[in-house]
Structure 1
């Protein structure tokens, strides 16, 4: 399952035009097999095999985080370093008594969830962090609260009851000037999400979540952050405008009223001119896409290059990579931008790069066949992408 599937269920362009940032949306039975993303077995393995310290792994009750010593024991290594190992029996007791289990950024720990996040990032052109939430009782893990980012929820197993109260401040932010008013006493909607359901909720919407009928529940929350706001556009534009002398000039705070008025007039003219650029929002979005490093991954053992092995597997490290045809030094090139880097290639490489934009692993030989070029030439291109951290490779089955 990918977020392309979620995009289809949410309505794709209709969702972006009418619902996104505006209203909640519940899509019952969106997926027949949500367990293909994650499962309780996966959670158990992640906890057993990784040193997940708070806040990466945490237990919460009524919005309060339990201290780690309630479910973990300290371990001193031979190198005299200390870490806290989760104690399974203590963990079970805390969960059975009403605590919720949270694993932050599970998209960096489990590849199917990482694929979900990367696909969402490519569709929404925004950063996505996925957290896993599991509970066993009807105790509210976080109480009635609002989030400073939009969320897309996928119910994996069991059922969750959502009470949605709506916003009391329009589109609040993490760093804001006013706190939202308390939520109303009665919810505007009360939903039960069962396995396969999807829920979209804009930021600022008060809500409370409990496991329905005391049955164990597992869901993923895809947090879309940070939001693309006017404030972020102006902040980005301020750096862009440093090319203009007036924006590098010291403020005339010691000058008279006429000189100050003239300075502000010149400043206003530059800002208005920049805002009149019809391509401004696309340039801003492209710049933000280019900055997203995604989920970087080394390509061991291939530290000295990428071999011309048709069975080698390749994927991009970011879901927000962009492909453009541009002029560079008088020649037409295909430019892939992402992870803070850009790579220019001959137009013949376009089909390879376009295929790599599809989230997931791609066989090197298939990439070569796509463009009708040799495996050796494809490996050389991939080596350049790996060197720029835009791509990663692995040996299939080894």
Structure 2
């Protein structure tokens, strides 16, 4: 797919070591065919066929949300429910006046963008939400602002003018103790993104965005969920519930000596846990295992996956993991962890699983050939993954 060069063009390991969470990165022409990801026809189809309401579909102008009644009308169904249907003429008028159109989590609605998100999740080991932004004027839809998550931007159509000011508070959070200071008057970078260009921006970096010279623009913003020290401590506190010391009642009514002794003991427990080798890797692995991805049914296959060589399979999450483990009898197995589930397989199945970890759709025939299995055996393996919500299928090759 067109997006699979993004990690390479951003710099792979060099990007992780030098840019991620540290500095912006601009790569012209990183995506060769951005229109394969999304288009204005895609937006038209999603708006026409889905009941997209605020905040899933919203308009913004000058940093303020446009009231929904200015571009949608209430519709009462025969079951007496009410929803807001987008009114095309009013929508066009608001956009012509300078509003920007946003579709949140378009990765949950459009298959190619889901593939982009899973590709980034597999590389960066974090959940990715992709929003689509469209604008038709040089008016800034969101004003000068910062985000509480890193972003990777893919310019799809038209051009977008980005003014980047840098951070005034390092790594601000959604729920923070204070707000960043205002940005400086002059930007540190002044860029115009053209179709296929990619921009990475760490969280907390002030920026202002507008369609360049009023030409229509469409871009995707991939938001990367941050993993902070607060997240690590929260996860660690759950792990420490296994210890009697952490489960014990606080000595709120004891004397000062007893309270000091308790705090000292608790601190020792926490320090010992923080000093365990491989703690961050265990945290990352646990977060990967919990990620449900984009769950998708495998209809009409309710009782297993048929041995159809043309049936196609893909994982529902980009953060699945494959490790060697021992089963209850001490035999070595290949353990597949994804979507909150663990499934053990014979080592001979590993090539099939690694093909799925590579991303995208694969036919049962391709998976069977990768592991030198019969199509029927490959279907049984896939069936276990489908039962674990870690994979889905679709009929035939596209």
Cα distance, 1:2 vs structure 2: 5.2
- The aligned runs of 1:175-190 (5 Å cut-off) are 175-190=175-190
Cα distance, 1:267 vs structure 2: 1.4
SS in 1 for 2:273: helix
Q: 2:280 matched to 1:281?
A: yes
Rounded to whole Å, the distance in 2 between the matches of 1:276 and 1:85 is 55
Cα distance, 1:397 vs structure 2: 5.8
State the match for 2:269 in structure 1: 270
Rounded to whole Å, the distance in 1 between the matches of 2:74 and 2:252 is 58
- The aligned runs of 1:1-398 (5 Å cut-off) are 1=1, 3-225=3-225, 227-329=226-328, 330-396=330-396
Cα distance, 1:316 vs structure 2: 0.6
Cα distance, 1:27 vs structure 2: 0.9
Q: Is the 8 A contact 1:161 1:193 kept in 2?
A: yes
Quick one: structure 1 residues 85 and 205, their matched pair in 2 at CA, closer, same or farther if it must change by over 3 Å?
A: same
Deviations 1:161-189 (A, max 9, x none): 11111111010000111111111111111
SS in 1 for 2:221: strand
SS in 2 for 1:304: coil
Rounded to whole Å, the distance in 2 between the matches of 1:374 and 1:221 is 42
Rounded to whole Å, the distance in 2 between the matches of 1:394 and 1:120 is 23
Return 66-75 or 326-335, whichever deviates more: 66-75
Q: Is the 8 A contact 1:315 1:362 kept in 2?
A: yes
TM-score w.r.t. the length of structure 2 is 0.97
Q: Is the 8 A contact 2:2 2:34 kept in 1?
A: no
Which ranges of structure 2 fall in alignment gaps of 5 or more residues?
A: none
Deviations 1:199-241 (A, max 9, x none): 000000011100001100000000001x111111011001111
Structure 1 outlier segments of 4+, above 3 Å:
1-4
Rounded to whole Å, the distance in 2 between the matches of 1:220 and 1:93 is 23
Q: Is the 8 A contact 1:38 1:156 kept in 2?
A: yes
Quick one: structure 1 residues 188 and 163, their matched pair in 2 at CA, closer, same or farther if it must change by over 3 Å?
A: same
Return 77-86 or 384-393, whichever deviates more: 77-86
Q: Is the 8 A contact 1:350 1:371 kept in 2?
A: yes
- Aligned CA-pair RMSD: 1.2
Cα distance, 1:109 vs structure 2: 0.7
Deviations 1:273-296 (A, max 9, x none): 111112100000000001110000
Which ranges of structure 1 fall in alignment gaps of 5 or more residues?
A: none
SS in 2 for 1:250: coil
Cα distance, 1:93 vs structure 2: 0.9
SS in 2 for 1:78: coil
Cα distance, 1:258 vs structure 2: 2.2
Q: Is the 8 A contact 1:3 1:117 kept in 2?
A: no
SS in 2 for 1:319: coil
Q: Is the 8 A contact 1:2 1:119 kept in 2?
A: no
Q: Is the 8 A contact 1:317 1:389 kept in 2?
A: yes
Deviations 1:91-129 (A, max 9, x none): 111111101010000001111100000010110000100
Rounded to whole Å, the distance in 1 between the matches of 2:68 and 2:110 is 23
Q: How many residues align?
A: 397
Q: Is the 8 A contact 2:311 2:397 kept in 1?
A: no
Cα distance, 1:69 vs structure 2: 1.7
Q: Is the 8 A contact 1:236 1:284 kept in 2?
A: yes
Q: Is the 8 A contact 1:161 1:190 kept in 2?
A: yes
Cα distance, 1:305 vs structure 2: 1.4
SS in 2 for 1:163: strand
Cα distance, 1:326 vs structure 2: 0.6
Cα distance, 1:3 vs structure 2: 4.6
SS in 1 for 2:373: coil
Return 186-195 or 198-207, whichever deviates more: 186-195
